[in-house]
Chains A and B, each alone.
Chain A
């Protein structure tokens, strides 16, 4: 009986000490972790809307966020959309900027992905993929070009697929088009 009480006492003691330590450490690191997350999103917003000076969240769900991008006078110049969708083998997280009339997609940035290295992972590659996403018309959604074209040959709503990684390219197009539908509902 005595040994049993002793057992409980020791384990409780160890657990209490450890939780105290952890609580202190959590409070200590929390602001840094939040700052990191915010910095990552802020940096992405700066990149996808040209000339943006500050931003305000309009929609702030865990998997879908819209930010209003404002210039120095506080006037709205566009929206940054953060969205997560299914890729070839895991989720793809992207951020893209659109103008305030929802007509043009300024540019696209892939924040997180686990596609096949060397193939689908090229969706983060500027020369092979992302540069084709500059200033696309989005009134009727984005489409993949039937075959590889030069930048100036692409229609205003077309982007090139990555050769050998059609599936990942399509996944990104679908994620963007789905997000655009949602944005049109949220922003009127």
Chain B
């Protein structure tokens, strides 16, 4: 955030790459590892996180001046839990298949560090506009991480992308990629490559 003029822009853009919650801050690892075995799960998870993060950021930054410091975390959690429960019920009511596939990981967004972290670090100290931008940037960053992971895992592990055949019948599915070990292998590889790219760009 160099100057005031571009600070709005940087509020948004920092979450996408420089401070990407998945690839740089290593926040929200639980859903990142658990639900990225299929692209559709990653999209649903990202959508839920975008909704919860943005909605909570709006509310928290609106009421930030009324909340005493001693009970701020408790209040944040109540607000976050409200939106998470709404997202969970919504999925269960209108997308039962997705809700089944995501299992307990939607309710677990409550304890996702990305959300509480952004509330504490940003939304509780900034105005609504900037908080929304920050929340959007961070949640899109999270979505990018999840999409990258799930793209690799679904293509290698199932030969498909978002359910569409990509590699065809000759491909022997690498089952390991849609199993838990595949999540760790993919995360390690993606973080390694992104670190490599970051240092390369810095040098140039």
Contact = CB atoms under 8 A, between A and B. Distances in A.
Interface of A: 3, 6-7, 10-11, 14-15, 18, 21-22, 25-26, 29, 32-33, 36, 40, 112, 116-119
Nearest to A111: B100
A9 to B, nearest CB: 10
B96 A40 contact: yes
Interface in B87-124: 89-90, 92-94, 96, 100
8 contacts: A7-B71, A25-B86, A25-B89, A26-B89, A32-B92, A33-B89, A36-B92, A116-B179
Nearest to A26: B89
A6 B71 CA distance: 10
B56 to A, nearest CB: 11
Nearest to A17: B82
A6 B82 contact: no
A18 B93 contact: no
Interface stretch (B1-9, B73-81, B132-140): B73-81
B173 A118 contact: yes
B72 to A, nearest CB: 9
B144 interface: no
B71 A10 contact: yes
Contacts of A6: 68
A153 to B, nearest CB: 28
Contacts of A112: 100
Contacts of B173: 118
Contact of A3 (B68, B86, B175): B68
Nearest to A3: B68
Contacts of B71: 7, 10-11
A75 B79 CA distance: 53
**Interface core residue of A14, A32, A112 (most chain B CB under 10 Å):** A14
B93 A32 contact: yes
* Interface SS of chain B: helix
A19 B141 CA distance: 31
Given A14-B67, A18-B81, A32-B92, 16 more contacts: A10-B66, A10-B75, A11-B74, A11-B75, A14-B63, A15-B78, A25-B86, A29-B93, A32-B93, A33-B93, A40-B96, A112-B100, A116-B175, A116-B179, A117-B178, A119-B175
Contacts of A117: 157, 175, 178-179
Contact of B94 (A10, A11, A21, A32): A32
Contacts of B85: 22, 25
A24 to B, nearest CB: 10
B35 to A, nearest CB: 14
A169 to B, nearest CB: 18
A15 B96 CA distance: 28
A32 B81 CA distance: 21
A119 B79 CA distance: 42
Interface string B167-204: 00000010100110000000000000000000000000
Given A11-B74, A15-B78, A18-B81, A33 B86 contact: no
Contact of B86 (A21, A36, A116): A21
Contacts of B68: 3, 6-7, 10
Contacts of B63: 14
Given A6-B68, A118-B173, A14 B96 contact: no
A74 to B, nearest CB: 30
Given A3-B68, A10-B67, A36-B96, A18 B89 contact: no
Contacts of A11: 71, 74-75, 78
